[in-house]
């Protein structure tokens, strides 16, 4: 029986290998979540540069959110990062969810970013 950590490590490796095959040099939108907050970055790997970033600890969102660890907060972060990426001239990204399953806060963030104009 695999432990939770082993399952997460396996999922991360599997996702990363598929991501490298399918992304074809596109700009990457990477997420990280904790129990209390969610963070997202839009990264250009060819230059090694972060183009846009947003999180629930940003001053813009902190006052308007009750807590940073729920689906509503993730949707607000997705919308904010999409707006910042579009200001930087990015409309197409490859979604890198890391070892996280695509449901709950991860899905809410992705859906909000799509609605705000990012395509992936």
Top CATH class of 4-115 equals alpha beta
Helix (H) or strand (E) holding 52: strand 49-55
Residues sharing a CB contact under 8 Å with residue 1, sequence separation 6 or more, in sequence order: none
This prediction's pTM: 0.87
Tokens (6 digits) for 50: 């972060």
Q: What percent of the chain has pLDDT over 90?
A: 78
Tell me the three state secondary structure of residue 118.
coil
> pLDDT (tens digit, 9 = 90+) per residue, 49-78?
999 999 999 998 999 999 999 999 999 999
Give the burial class of 2: count Cβ atoms within 10 A of its Cβ; 0-12 exposed, 13-18 middle, 19 or more buried. exposed
């Amino acid at each position: 029986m695999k432990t939770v950590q082993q399952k997460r490590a396996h999922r991360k490796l599997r996702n990363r290998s598929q991501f490298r095959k399918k992304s074809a040099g596109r700009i990457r939108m990477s997420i990280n979540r904790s129990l209390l907050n969610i963070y997202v970055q839009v990264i250009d790997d060819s230059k090694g540069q972060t183009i846009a970033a947003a999180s629930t600890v940003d001053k813009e969102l902190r006052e308007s959110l009750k807590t940073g660890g729920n689906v509503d907060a993730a949707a607000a972060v997705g919308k904010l990062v999409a707006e910042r990426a579009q200001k930087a001239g990015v409309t197409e990204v490859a979604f890198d969810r890391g070892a996280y399953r695509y449901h709950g806060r991860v899905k809410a963030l992705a859906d909000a970013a799509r609605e705000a104009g990012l395509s992936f």
